[in-house]
Amino acid sequence: MKAGVPIEVPVNIPGQTCRVLVGPGLLTRTGELARDSGLHGTCAVITDENVGPLHAAAVLKSLEAAGSKAVLLTVPAGERSKCLATAEDVCDRMIEAGLDRGSFVVALGGGVIGDLAGFVAAIYQRGIPLVQIPTTIVAQVDSSIGGKTGVNARAGKNLIGAFHQPLLVLADTNTLATLPDREYREGFAEVIKHGAIRDAALLDELDPATPRENLAPLIARNITIKATLVAEDEREQSGQRALLNFGHTIAHAIENVAGYGRFLHGEAVSLGLAAALEISRHKAGLAAAEADRAREKLAAFGLPLALPDDLGTDALIAASRRDKKFAQGRIRYVLVPRLGEAFVAEDVTEDDLRAALQTLRA
C-alpha cells in the first residue's frame, strides 16, 4: 500500500453496490467518499459514548464540508444497546430530526453500533442507504462486511434483523490506535476463524507484535475472505456463507447465558472456536496438532480458552437450541477437517456439544 492510498477491496455481490476502502485517514474523507457514492442530504451519524468523543467530530466536519447535514445520535456503549428499544429510540430521534427516504445512515463504531445502525437503516422508511465506518478489529474484518444487521432478543443473539448491504465501508486503521488492549485483541478471534475456514497460511503469519498502524493489508485480506463467501451466498441459502459461523453457535450461547457484556464478542468466539476445533477432531478428522496450532494462536492473542464453571452446560445447550443455525430442530454445525477448509455438518449431536464444552472446563 502506497503512503496515503487506501486499499480498495472488491465486493461483488450480485445486484448490490458496495465500495470497501481500508487504510489510514479515511474518517476525514467520509463526506467526499459518501458524495462519490451518490449520497447527499441529511444523514444520521450513529455512534456510542466511547467512540463519539474520539472520532465523531472528524466525520461530522467531513460530511458537512461535502454538503450533507449531519445529525449525531449517541447511544450507551456496550452490547445492551443492541436491542429493539434502542433501535426504536434512534428511529424516533431520526424522525424528530427530519430525516426522510432521501437520507442515509452512518454507523461509526464497533460491531454493536454497526449491527444496530445497520438495522435502523434497514427499517427506517422501509430502508435507506448505509455507510459503515468500523472502528474495531472485529468490525473491520467481519461485522461491517456482508449486510447482516440486527439486534438481540432476550432469547438469543441477533435473532431480530435484516439483510441490508452498506453502500460504502471505510475501515480507517487510525481508529485502532485508540482501542483499549482488550477490545483490540478480541477482534483477532474472527481473524483466526477466517484462517481456520479458508486461509491456513494466515495463521502462521499472524503476529501479536505487529504494530497497529501496519495492519491494513491484514484487514484487507480478511475482508476479501469474508466478501468472497458473502458473494457466493449472500442470504445463507447454499451453505457457503454459513462457513463464517464456525465457532459461533457456542459463542452466541455463551454470550446469552453469561449476560450480554460479560464477554466481548471475540472472547466468546475464542471459546466457541476451541469447542468447534474439538468437535472437528472427533467428527471431521481434524488432526490434534492442527487443532493445537489454532488454539495456540488464540492463546498468543490473550484470548480465553477455559469456560467459567458458573456457565452451566445445560443452560448453554438450551441457548444453543435457540440459535439461528438450528434448522428444523437439527444442528447445522461448521466443522474443519483440516485448517483452511470447512463444511456444514448435520450429524453433530447435543452429546457432541456437551463433550466439547467439558473439554473447555478441563
Catalytic residues: 126, 148, 190, 226, 236, 241, 245, 248, 252, 265
Contact present, 293 and 339 (Cβ < 8 Å): yes
CA distance 83 to 151: 5
Q: Is residue 224 classed as helix, strand or coil in its secondary structure?
A: helix
> What interhelical angle do 350-361 and 313-321 show, nearest 10?
140
CA distance 94 to 76: 17
105 forms beta bridges with 44, 130
DSSP per-residue letters across 86-136: HHHHHHHHHHHTT--TT-EEEEEESHHHHHHHHHHHHHGGG---EEEEE-S
Closest CA to 85 of 154, 22, 3: 154
Burial (0-12, 13-18, 19+ Cβ within 10 Å), 321? middle
